[in-house]
């Protein structure tokens, strides 16, 4: 059974969130566990640094990621609730529930040698 989660984030700014522990680190930014102060909803805040995006020339990829993920609705894909930005960073507000990572799943499958 699939459940729809509806949260009201209102006008999103960083002050609306309590940041928790880091969940991951990448080339262009970091991901943090966060909680919306008003609704107490647990989520992941993906933070990109604008300078690094501009330096690598991948701003269009971030725009495309936002466009695609804002329309996706699948139980195995983290939902994008919204985004906002300030002078130096772009923030993606994503589902905070843990999903299965495909690369880690494939590592758990035993590999059997092929017999000729």
Calpha distance 76→63 (Å, rounded): 22
Cβ atoms within 10 Å, residue 4:
6
Instruction: Map residue 36 onto helix, strand or coil.
Output: strand
What tokens does 8 get? 């009201």
50 marked among binding-site residues: no
46 marked among binding-site residues: yes
Task: Evaluate whether 58 touches 28 at the Cβ level (below 8 Å).
Answer: yes
The set of residues, in sequence order, having a beta carbon less than 8 Å from that of 9 and lying 6+ positions away, is 16, 36, 39, 81, 82, 93
* Residues forming beta bridges with residue 40, ordered by sequence position: none
Bind-site residues for ATP: 27, 46
């Amino acid at each position: 059974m699939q459940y729809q989660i509806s949260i009201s984030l209102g006008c999103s700014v960083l002050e609306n969130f309590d940041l928790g522990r880091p969940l991951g680190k990448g080339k262009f930014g970091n991901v943090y566990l966060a909680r919306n102060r008003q609704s107490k909803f647990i989520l992941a805040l993906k933070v990109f640094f604008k300078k690094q995006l501009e330096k690598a020339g991948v701003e269009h990829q971030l725009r495309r990621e936002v466009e695609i993920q804002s329309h996706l609705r699948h139980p195995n894909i983290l939902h994008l609730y919204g985004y906002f930005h300030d002078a130096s960073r772009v923030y993606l507000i994503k589902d905070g529930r843990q999903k299965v990572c495909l690369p880690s799943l494939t590592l758990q499958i035993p590999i059997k040698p092929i017999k000729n």
